[in-house]
Structure 1
Amino acid sequence: MTVSAKLPLTSLPVFLNDSSALLNELLHAVADEIYLLDASDMQLVYANASTLSNTGYDLAGLQNLQLSDVLGVSPATLRAHLQAHSNEAKFLRLMQDQAPVIGRISHEQLRVKIIAIAQSPFLLLIKSDLAPISGSDCHDCEGAFNQVLMDSESRVEAIISNTPGLVFQLQLDPRGDIVFTYLSEGCKALLGFNAADLMQQSKLFFAMMNARDKASLRKRLVSSADALTQLDWEGRVWINDWQDHKWVNLRAIPKVLADGVVQWVGMMINITQSKNEKLELQESRHELAQLTAHMNQIKELERTRIAREIHDDLGGNLTAIKIGLTSIINRIATGLPVSFEQAKGLESIVDNTFEAIHKISSDLRPNILDLGIVAALEWQAKEFEKQVGVTCTFTTNQADIVVTPDQAITLFRICQESMSNIAKHANASAVHVDLNLHYGEIIMKISDNGIGINTADTYKPNSFGLRGMQERVAALYGSFDIEQLAGQGTVIAVTLPIE
Structure 2
Amino acid sequence: MTAHLPTDYEARFNAVVRHMPGLVYQFVVEADGAVRFPYLSEGCEALLGVPAAVLEAEPRRFLALILPQDRPAYLESMQASAAALTPWNWEGRIWIDAFKDVKWINLRSTPRALAAPAGAVQWEGIMTNISAGKQAQREVSDSRAALAELTAHIEAVKEQERTRIAREIHDDLGGNLTAIKMAIAMLARRLPPDQPQLLDKTNYVDSLVDRTIEAVHRISLDLRPPMLDFGIVAAFEWQVKEFEKQVGIACHFATNETDIALSPDHAIALFRIFQEALTNIAKHAGASRVDIALARDGDALSLRITDNGGGIAAADRRKPGSFGLRSMSERARALGGTMTLSRAPGGGTMVAIKIELSPPAP
Q: What range is the shorter-chain TM-score in? A: 0.5 to 0.7
* 1:475 paired residue number: 334
1 CA distance for matches of 2:52 and 2:291? 73
Q: Does the alignment pair 1:281 with 2:183?
A: no
Q: Does the alignment pair 1:364 with 2:223?
A: yes
> Size of the alignment, in residue pairs?
255
The within-5 A match list for 1:144-223 is 156-164=58-66
The one-letter code of the counterpart of 2:249 is: V
Shift of 1:469: 1.5
SS in 2 for 1:281: helix
* 2:243 paired residue number: 384
2 CA distance for matches of 1:389 and 1:374? 21
Shift of 1:478: 2.5
1 CA distance for matches of 2:321 and 2:301? 29
Alpha carbons of 1:247 and 1:459: their partners in 2 closer, same or farther (altered >3 Å)? Answer: farther
1 CA distance for matches of 2:220 and 2:275? 16
2 CA distance for matches of 1:118 and 1:276? 30
Q: Does the alignment pair 1:465 with 2:331?
A: no
SS in 1 for 2:269: helix
Which one of 426, 430, 435 corresponds to residue 294 of structure 2?
A: 435
TM-score by length of 2: 0.53
The one-letter code of the counterpart of 2:253 is: F
Shift of 1:408: 1.8
SS in 2 for 1:477: coil
* 1:350 paired residue number: 209
Which one of 302, 305, 309 corresponds to residue 446 of structure 1?
A: 305
Alpha carbons of 1:241 and 1:462: their partners in 2 closer, same or farther (altered >3 Å)? Answer: farther
Cα contact 2:104–2:134 (8 A) shared by 1: no
The within-5 A match list for 1:85-484 is 156-164=58-66, 248-249=128-129, 270-271=130-131, 274=134, 277-278=137-138, 280-281=140-141, 284=144, 340-341=199-200, 343-484=202-343
2 CA distance for matches of 1:413 and 1:118? 61
Alpha carbons of 1:488 and 1:10: their partners in 2 closer, same or farther (altered >3 Å)? Answer: closer
* 1:492 paired residue number: 351
Asked which structure has the greater CA Rg, the reply is 1
Alpha carbons of 1:494 and 1:273: their partners in 2 closer, same or farther (altered >3 Å)? Answer: farther
2 CA distance for matches of 1:281 and 1:247? 25
2 CA distance for matches of 1:477 and 1:290? 15
TM-score by length of 1: 0.40
Shift of 1:285: 6.2
1 CA distance for matches of 2:284 and 2:309? 8
* 2:96 paired residue number: none
Q: Return 5+ residue gaps in structure 2 as ranges.
A: 1-36, 68-74, 82-98, 112-125
Higher relative contact order (CA 8 A, sep 6+): 2
Alpha carbons of 1:241 and 1:118: their partners in 2 closer, same or farther (altered >3 Å)? Answer: closer
SS in 2 for 1:352: helix
Shift of 1:388: 1.9
2 CA distance for matches of 1:437 and 1:384? 24
Deviation string for 1:346-380 (max 9, x for gaps)? 43333233222212211210122233221221222
Alpha carbons of 1:493 and 1:118: their partners in 2 closer, same or farther (altered >3 Å)? Answer: closer
Q: Percent identity?
A: 39
Shift of 1:397: 1.4
Deviation string for 1:266-300 (max 9, x for gaps)? xxxx54983574375277369759979x989xx7x
Cα contact 1:481–1:494 (8 A) shared by 2: yes
1 CA distance for matches of 2:187 and 2:52? 110
Cα contact 2:305–2:352 (8 A) shared by 1: yes
